[in-house]
Amino acid sequence: MYTQSFSVGDGQGKSNGPKPVPVISVDDAEKVAAFEQKIADDGRIEPQDWMPEAYRKTLIRQISQHAHSEIVGMLPEGNWISRAPSLKRKAILIAKVQDEGGHGLYLYSAAETLGVSRDKMLDDLHTGRAKYSSIFNYPTLNWADVGVIGWLVDGAAIMNQIPLCRCSYGPYARAMIRVCKEESFHQRQGYESLLVMMRGTEEQRAMVQDAVNRWWWKCLAMFGPPDADSPNSAIGMRYGIKRFSNDDLRQKFVDATVPQAEILGVTLPDPDLKWNEARGHYDYGPIDWDEFWRTVNGDGPCNKERLATRVKADRDGQWVRDAALAHARKRAAREAKEAA
């Protein structure tokens, strides 16, 4: 049983009378101590283990948002499958977009082990209650955008997700190992396709530069608000869900990407970007957080289109789910009859 009901104090949910003071029984104190010890020992919490409600909620929030990001993240690149410039690029892109769908499914499964249903998570996405990554609310205007998504968006995703392979929640950590292997292929295919374009015509080089200019700042914002404005970081770090802060990961991404841009032959659109010898890192300019929050809160260039596409896909697929359930019921009834 994955229920957390034993962490709900007596009397909760009753509407009348004063709230009783929560009592921590010896039994509960032992459970808390065992949980804390496992976190301190860098062990893995599994679905059947006792966990504090705050830990469970933080995980459901983060894993479901992550799953939604993977599923909505299929859309900007999916837009180019029918227009890929060669059969090879089309095959690679189909495989990549399909991988992202798979990542969403592993992540929904991981979140389900915490007691939340897939229907509830999808309902939250479709009604606009749940967040997904800001980056997928921008349009893919030319073929170079597909390469830049692979190089920079998948690159940023890997930087954030490698530490999640060591996250304290077992099902999430295990899902991330496979996800990261696939994201690594995605990042390389994007970079390779850009290298080919940069060796091409003047027009192709200009397309790559234009795509880099449009995506660079959005990728830096993907890591989330600055540490001082990140309300969930404290609990995420305390419970071993997050291993690095938003700003630390952003810095690692900048440091890793600048040399890659030099090899590629593109400039990154930041006049303040320069090596800081004293810090041993690249300095970078200010991020437009107002634009980030507008996009996160539903007012980015493609938010409405992305959500409408997901809702339509869900509605159009209802008959498949109904048929699969009807088939499963029929099969179970036949097996029960044969066993009788």
Binding residues for ligand FAQ, rule: CB under 6 A, are: 61-62, 65-66, 69-70, 73, 100, 131, 133-134, 149, 153-154, 157, 160-161, 222-225, 230-233, 236, 246, 296
With the CA atoms of 331, 334, 339 and 340 taken in that order, what torsion angle do they form, in degrees rounded to the nearest 10? 140
Least Å from the CB of residue 23 to ligand FAQ: 30
Least Å from the CB of residue 88 to ligand FAQ: 19
If the CB atoms of residues 144 and 153 are measured against ligand FAQ, the closer one turns out to be 153
Least Å from the CB of residue 25 to ligand FAQ: 31
Residues 6+ apart with CB under 8 A from 133: 65, 69, 72, 73, 222
DSSP code, position 18 = P
If the CB atoms of residues 31 and 140 are measured against ligand FAQ, the closer one turns out to be 140
If the CB atoms of residues 51 and 148 are measured against ligand FAQ, the closer one turns out to be 148
Residues 6+ apart with CB under 8 A from 173: 44, 164, 165, 166, 167
Least Å from the CB of residue 226 to ligand FAQ: 9
First to last CA, the chain: 29
Least Å from the CB of residue 233 to ligand FAQ: 5
C-alpha 264/C-alpha 287 separation (Å) is 24
Which residue is at the shortest CB distance from ligand FAQ?
73
Give me the amino acid identity at 110: A
Using the Cα atoms of residue 25, residue 31, residue 35 and residue 38 in order, give the sign of their dihedral. positive
DSSP code, position 302 = T
* Contact call for residues 144 and 200 (beta carbons, < 8 A): no
Burial of 316: CB neighbours in 10 Å, binned 0-12, 13-18, 19+? exposed
In the numeric block, which tokens belong to residue 221? 């914002």
If the CB atoms of residues 73 and 205 are measured against ligand FAQ, the closer one turns out to be 73
Least Å from the CB of residue 154 to ligand FAQ: 5
Beta bridge partners of 283: 274
If the CB atoms of residues 18 and 231 are measured against ligand FAQ, the closer one turns out to be 231
If the CB atoms of residues 207 and 222 are measured against ligand FAQ, the closer one turns out to be 222
